[in-house]
């Protein structure tokens, strides 16, 4: 059936957004499963725009047919990909009902159980919404925060600056997203909070304290 192709097509914008944090990683795995022809692999690898890399990779696989699409979906729902891209968790809810989008917001209930790991904010992973909120609170010192607090190489920050020359918030968001991809399981809200509270580049507490809020059920 063309089920997997349809799912990938429908989720493409979301997947491009998530995978563009580290398209090379996905490309290597897709290549090891022979999901791309040699020339397709080279073409995607040569691109400099991460979103375009993610997009072309998905397009090539979708166009190959249902088997390749199915293999890619299995790859994306596997543990290694989910660890690298925590945002891929949305794939766990497949098969996707289109009604899901409508019911997704729900009314969140707070659950705090101190004995269960993950029940308390200490192990809450940062989500893109958190990163965007933090990004809006970081000003001109974003580069020194990137290299000093988040250990991001300045060459990566140069690349982000080139990718987002006009929007400061997008730049800072890309930097934070890169940090969360880099840290994988360590990209918790509490970790980010403590890094951004350090002396030299401490952000005002009221701009980052929301990171310590207890987890809301989705």
Q: Are residues 173 and 205 in the same domain?
A: yes
Over residues 77-109, the pLDDT tens digits come to 888 888 888 888 777 665 443 323 323 333 333
Which of 42, 74, 103 is a domain's end point?
103
Q: Are residues 98 and 165 in the same domain?
A: no
* pLDDT band of 215, cuts 50, 70, 90: low
Q: Residue 216: phi, psi to the nearest 5?
A: -95, 140
Average pLDDT over residues 170-177: 91
pLDDT at 172: 93
Over residues 134-165, the pLDDT tens digits come to 998 888 889 999 988 888 888 899 998 988 88
pLDDT at 182 over 60: yes
Residue that the structure tokens 């022979």 belong to: 34
Over residues 30-67, the pLDDT tens digits come to 988 889 988 999 999 999 999 999 999 999 999 988 88
Domain containing 141: what range?
121-212
Sign of the alpha-carbon torsion through 204, 207, 211, 215 = positive
């Amino acid at each position: 059936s063309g089920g997997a192709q349809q799912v990938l097509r429908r989720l493409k914008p979301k997947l491009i957004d998530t995978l563009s944090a580290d398209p090379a990683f996905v490309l290597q795995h897709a290549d090891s499963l022979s999901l791309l022809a040699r020339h397709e692999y080279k073409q995607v690898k040569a691109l400099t725009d991460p979103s375009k890399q993610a997009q072309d990779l998905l397009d090539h696989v979708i166009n190959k047919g249902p088997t390749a699409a199915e293999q890619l979906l299995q790859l994306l729902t596997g543990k290694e990909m989910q660890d690298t891209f925590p945002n891929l968790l949305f794939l766990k809810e497949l098969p996707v009902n289109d009604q899901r989008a409508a019911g997704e917001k729900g009314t969140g209930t707070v659950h705090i159980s101190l004995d269960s790991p993950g029940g308390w904010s200490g192990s809450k992973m940062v989500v893109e919404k958190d990163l965007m909120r933090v990004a809006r609170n970081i000003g001109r010192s974003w580069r020194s925060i990137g290299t000093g607090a988040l250990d991001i190489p300045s060459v990566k920050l140069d690349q982000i600056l080139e990718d987002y020359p006009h929007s400061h918030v997008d730049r800072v968001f890309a930097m934070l997203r890169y940090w969360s991809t880099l840290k994988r399981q360590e990209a918790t809200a509490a970790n980010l909070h403590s890094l951004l509270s350090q002396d030299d580049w401490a952000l005002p507490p009221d701009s980052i304290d929301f990171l310590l809020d207890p987890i809301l059920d989705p």
